């Protein structure tokens, strides 16, 4: 049997994986989005379902003022002695910390700060009970991967932080993971930056602090100069399956258009790991990740597909939904009007680093439709509610109802850097269905009402919402939003939201 990469599509970068018996758990970065650090579960390494988030309260994850692509950087997920541990960094405030839980679905503990500086922290639980913390930083010995022995109760250091490896000379040595395999300590890191020069390298030692001997055939993973549509592979984590085979999860990107661009974000890829006769791992097809690869020989366990429509009939949001930073109190409700997601516009707009009323999900397919049915009767000039394809505050396409000079208008707005283009037309009475049709190279905006058929408002290139244009580390979100500077904003009532991929 074979499987198709990515195994988790859409903006889910920096995967980290652990195993408990025959169950596999995986965590990814979440940056400025809340809740933070989504957690996934699999039985066969190929089919994954989300089971929760590690950081679900503002106390655990303060994001007020977090810049775009700030917030939560790469997590590491580990299991030890009945506890799951997730260690990460909030670069916008709070530094590095870990949380723990008996159940990966939660609840997770309050954060425990760690004493070592840096991003991308990782943990190794050694056989003798010692716990080692690794992170890339700049120290007295220069740039590289530093390590200390850590107190698991307090997060404090039980040893000084020491430089253990600078890598092979690639830019930005980061994303370290230390493993103990057959009595040897293997230190795997990402180098080259998370763009097209990304790669994974490894070194080993018979002592946790080294000296570390680099693998003679580094890098052990890279898709540089490959023509298979997958690029930037790296930031990997190794796992031994319960049948004794070895696998790696890593981030990668899928590009479209020319010049190349990726707008779905960095995604989760899976690859087999083979070991050489002298004990070095080689990831994938001779260090390369392929779109289609041979599947693990584990019993296949599929999860039910999510229905394309969310009717908002539950009293809790589905865990696929996310907020832009910590949501303002009273900005949303599922109980105020049964069967509707109600948003109350905030003064923050989509064009600034703030907290608009915003509920979104990751765009996971090049070709799909995102459609929302909206009831919105604004009363104050400037009030606006609708649907957005959102990369960051300077790169987004919005389709909305807006109150302009006492009348409801339909607006299609394309924001790219300092440039903004707006299309306006009269808005029919009653509820409006707002739609973005995503195609590999463009987003097409249209609307429908009880008085009209589908009417196109315009389109914008996907490339202009790509990381190659916008920068940063996230991917496009399909989101419902509302904006208002009024003291009593009009409710924006979303009856349903459809997300449906197509070929």
Residue of 120, 174, 267, 394 marked catalytic: 174
Q: What is the pLDDT of residue 436?
A: 99
Cβ 36 vs Cβ 61: under 8 Å: yes
Q: Compute how many other C-beta atoms are within 10 angstroms of the C-beta atom of residue 471.
A: 14
Residue of 14, 383, 398, 433 marked catalytic: 14
Q: What whole-number distance in Å separates Cα of residue 290 and Cα of residue 113?
A: 39
Q: What is the pLDDT of residue 453?
A: 92
Active site residue 174: yes
Q: What is the pLDDT of residue 503?
A: 84
Q: What is the pLDDT of residue 140?
A: 82
Enter the DSSP assignment of 327.
P
The b-or-e profile of 66-85 (16+ CB within 10 A means b, else e) is bebbbbbbbbbbbbeeeebb
Tens-digit pLDDT string for the chain (503 aa): 999 999 999 999 999 999 999 999 999 999 999 999 999 999 999 999 999 999 999 999 999 999 999 999 999 999 999 999 999 999 999 899 999 999 999 999 999 999 999 999 999 999 999 999 999 998 788 899 999 999 999 999 999 999 999 999 999 999 999 999 999 999 999 999 999 999 999 999 999 999 999 999 999 999 998 988 999 999 999 999 999 999 999 999 999 978 899 999 999 999 999 999 999 999 999 999 999 999 999 999 999 999 999 999 999 999 999 999 999 999 999 999 999 999 999 999 999 999 999 999 999 999 999 999 999 999 999 999 999 999 999 999 999 999 999 999 999 999 999 999 999 999 999 999 999 999 999 999 999 999 999 999 999 999 999 999 999 999 999 999 999 999 999 999 999 999 999 98
What is the sign of the dihedral through the CA atoms of 468, 471, 474 and 479?
A: negative
Domains of the chain with CATH codes:
2-294 (2.115.10.20), 309-501 (2.60.120.200)
Q: What whole-number distance in Å separates Cα of residue 91 and Cα of residue 100?
A: 20
Task: Enter the tokens of residue 491.
Answer: 């409710």
pTM (2 d.p.):
0.97
Q: What is the pLDDT of residue 227?
A: 87
Enter the DSSP assignment of 463.
G
User: At residue 465, what are phi and psi to the nearest 5 degrees?
Assistant: -110, 15
User: At residue 421, what are phi and psi to the nearest 5 degrees?
Assistant: -120, 135
Distance of CA 447 to CAs 132, 249, 368, 427, Å?
55, 40, 16, 10
Question: How deeply is 446 buried, as exposed, middle or buried, from its count of CB atoms within 10 A (0-12, 13-18, 19+)?
Answer: buried
Task: Enter the tokens of residue 353.
Answer: 């680093």
């Amino acid at each position: 049997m074979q499987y198709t990469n990515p195994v988790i599509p859409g903006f889910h970068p920096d995967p980290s994986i652990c195993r408990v018996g025959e169950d596999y758990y995986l965590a990814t970065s979440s940056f400025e989005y809340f809740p933070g650090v989504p957690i996934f579960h699999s039985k066969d390494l190929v089919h994954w379902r989300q089971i929760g988030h590690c950081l679900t309260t503002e106390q655990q994850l303060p994001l007020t003022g977090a810049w775009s692509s700030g917030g939560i950087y790469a997590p590491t997920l580990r299991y030890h002695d009945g506890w799951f541990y997730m260690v990460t960094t909030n670069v916008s405030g709070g530094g590095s910390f870990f949380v723990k839980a008996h159940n990966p679905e939660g609840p997770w503990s309050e954060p425990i700060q760690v004493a070592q500086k840096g991003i991308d922290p990782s943990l190794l639980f050694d056989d003798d009970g010692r716990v080692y913390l690794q992170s890339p930083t700049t120290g007295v010995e220069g740039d590289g991967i530093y390590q200390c022995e850590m107190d698991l109760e307090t997060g404090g250091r039980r040893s000084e932080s020491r430089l253990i490896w600078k890598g092979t000379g690639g830019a930005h040595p980061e994303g370290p993971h230390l493993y103990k395999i057959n009595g040897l300590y293997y230190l795997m890191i990402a180098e080259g930056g998370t763009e097209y020069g990304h790669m994974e390298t490894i070194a080993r030692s018979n002592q946790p602090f080294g000296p570390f001997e680099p693998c003679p055939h580094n890098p052990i993973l890279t898709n540089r100069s490959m023509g298979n549509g997958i690029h930037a592979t790296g930031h990997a984590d190794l796992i031994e399956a319960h049948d004794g085979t070895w696998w790696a999860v890593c981030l990668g990107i899928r590009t479209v258009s020319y010049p190349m661009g990726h707008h779905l974000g960095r995604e989760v890829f899976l690859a087999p790991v083979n070991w050489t006769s002298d004990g070095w791992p080689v990831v994938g097809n001779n260090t390369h990740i392929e779109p289609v690869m041979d599947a693990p020989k584990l019993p296949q366990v599929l999860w039910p597909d999510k229905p394309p429509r969310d009717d908002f009939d539950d009293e809790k949001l589905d865990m696929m939904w996310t907020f832009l930073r910590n949501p303002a109190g009273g900005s949303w409700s599922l109980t105020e009007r049964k069967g509707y997601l109600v948003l109350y516009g905030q003064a923050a707009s989509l064009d600034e680093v703030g907290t608009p009323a915003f509920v979104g999900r990751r765009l996971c397919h090049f070709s799909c439709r995102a459609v929302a049915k909206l009831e919105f009767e604004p009363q104050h000039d400037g009030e606006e509610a609708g649907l957005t394809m959102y990369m960051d505050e300077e790169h987004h396409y919005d389709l909305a109802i807006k109150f302009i000079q006492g009348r409801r208008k339909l607006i299609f707005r394309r924001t790219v850097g300092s440039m903004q283009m707006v299309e306006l037309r009269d808005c029919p009475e009653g509820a409006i269905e707002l739609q973005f049709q995503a195609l590999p190279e463009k987003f097409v905006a249209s609307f429908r009402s009880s008085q009209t058929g589908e009417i196109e408002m315009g389109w914008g290139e996907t490339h202009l919402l790509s990381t190659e244009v916008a920068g940063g580390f996230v991917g496009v979100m399909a989101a419902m939003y509302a904006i208002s500077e009024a003291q009593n904003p009009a409710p924006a009532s979303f009856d349903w939201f459809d997300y449906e991929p197509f070929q």
